[in-house]
Amino acid sequence: MRNTLARIASVAAATTLAVTLTGCGSDDADTGTAAGDPVSAADIQAALDKGGELTVWAWEPTLKDVVASFQREHQNVKVNLINAGSGNDQYTALQNAIAAGSGVPDVAQVEYYALPQFALAKSVTDLSAYGAKSLDGTFTPGPWTAVNIDGGVYGLPMDSGPMALFYNKEVFDKHGIEVPATWTEYVEAARKLHAADPKVYLTADSGDAGFTTSMIWQAGGKPYRVDGTTVTIDFADPGSTRFAGAWQQLITEKLVAPVAPWSDEWFQGLGNGTIASLATGAWMPANLMSGAPAGAGKWRVAPLPQWQAGENASAENGGSSLAVPEKATNKALAYGFMQYANAGAGVGIRVAKGAFPATAAELNSAEFLGAEFAYFGGQKANEVFAASAANVVSGWSYLPFQVYANSIFNDTVGQAYVSSTSLADGLKAWREASAKYGTDQGFTVR
């Protein structure tokens, strides 16, 4: 019921977006170059001194402390931090507000996968005019590439999710499983583990768009290529095929626990050892600690298994930026806050609270790398994550309508998990449905 309602809401929002996109499709030629009048660092400082009210929509829990500290340093600024829902709920709300033209926040949290959608619709501001380009090198390559869209910078990276393999060492040791170095070994390990104890699965997966696209990313696939309003969707490339081939074996042999990620059942499995590993982003430790406290001390972190032995390819999974909606009222002040939160003192505050940084300086600091995680038996897990961040495969991009595409993932690819449809056919169906939507939105889809 809830899901259906959320679906209706997102479709409604998508329809709204369609109007916006068509509206700016005609003058696409000149919007690319016009970045607006430059706003200097002095202007931003002046805005901070002058103060005012700032509405920030974000669900990131550590921002609360950043706001408190920011307000202490800038006494004239009042920040209203509002959790307007997480992920899709917030995008729906944001697009509704943008369409209605009122109640638009000054700053909004937008995940990397969703940012191109807002950027190409010109719903969020190109921050180049505010000096965002000078932050090149401040952030790690993955997130920085993600906010650089079509020659502009549409958000400041807040966190990142270089992928790693989280595994339950206790379960692995009990059944004599080696930490897999390749995905072939991973499939082997899944067979061995499930055979040794039918209640235990190597991993859980019920079809997750973010996970699938990240896996294809690591496999070297480039299913989405975007050039202005021309979009190519192709799941027949070697990277996608490699992923589908390996994962199909897990699904066919029923080696993945049919448990939806993020459900209470999933957390339970992670805690009690019936789900023994998880390939996901580096922001996961905080979630494991609060969601699966029973697993404390048993879990470890390893680099992602590889598609070719000896390689060290990685990908990003999740992570989000802060962006300024085009209709925001006080953009200079908004940028001042974002700079503080994502490239200034705010980063340290957030890292201390357990967030995973997107900035190179924090990521490579001795203190960060040397942190020992009690949950991972004292392992210096950040070393693994930092290495992963450096090895993210370059050249990935998401669709300019990825929010919609992900919302129909379960109707297409998700079928492979519950019926006799193959993963490859599911991907094909996903391509068709996404392409149709893109064409309806005025994109040229190849």
User: Could you say which residues in the range 261-280 bind another protein, by CB under 8 A?
Assistant: 261-262, 264, 267-268, 271-272
> Which range of residues in 193-201, 291-299, 340-348, 395-403 is near another protein by CB under 8 A?
291-299
Strand partners of residue 302: 165
Calculate the dihedral angle through the C-alpha atoms of 226, 246, 162, 291, rounding to the nearest 10 degrees.
120
- E runs forming strands in 169-219: 203-204
Binding of residue 325 to another protein (CB under 8 A): no
> Which range of residues in 37-45, 53-61, 238-246, 249-257 is near another protein by CB under 8 A?
53-61
Two tokens, residue 441:
């939105």
Beta carbon nearer to another protein, 85 or 377: 85
> Which range of residues in 124-132, 283-291, 362-370, 372-380 is near another protein by CB under 8 A?
283-291
Using CA atoms, how far residue 398 sits from 26, 203, 211, 313, 334, in Å, is 23, 26, 13, 19, 26
* Closest approach of another protein to the CB of residue 87, in Å: 7
Binding of residue 249 to another protein (CB under 8 A): no
* Closest approach of another protein to the CB of residue 310, in Å: 31
Binding of residue 307 to another protein (CB under 8 A): no
* Closest approach of another protein to the CB of residue 100, in Å: 4
- For every residue of 134-197, DSSP letters joined together read GGTTTB-HHHHHHHEETTEE--EE----BEEEEEEHHHHHHTTPPPPSBHHHHHHHHHHHHHH-
What span, in angstroms and rounded, lies between the C-alpha atoms of 244 and 235? 9
Binding of residue 217 to another protein (CB under 8 A): no
Binding of residue 385 to another protein (CB under 8 A): no
Calculate the dihedral angle through the C-alpha atoms of 412, 413, 417, 419, rounding to the nearest 10 degrees.
40
* Closest approach of another protein to the CB of residue 144, in Å: 18
> Which range of residues in 113-121, 233-241, 348-356, 416-424 is near another protein by CB under 8 A?
348-356
Residue written as token pair 């500290």: 69
Question: Cβ atoms within 10 A of the Cβ of 311, count?
Answer: 15
How large is the C-alpha radius of gyration of the chain? 22
Binding of residue 3 to another protein (CB under 8 A): no
Binding of residue 110 to another protein (CB under 8 A): no
* Closest approach of another protein to the CB of residue 263, in Å: 9
* CB 396, CB 221: distance < 8 Å: no
Binding of residue 143 to another protein (CB under 8 A): no
What span, in angstroms and rounded, lies between the C-alpha atoms of 427 and 425? 5
State the residues that interact with another protein by CB under 8 A. Answer: 2, 5, 8-9, 12, 57, 59-62, 82-87, 89, 92-93, 96-97, 99-103, 159, 161, 261-262, 264, 267-268, 271-272, 281, 283-284, 286-287, 290-294, 318-320, 353-356
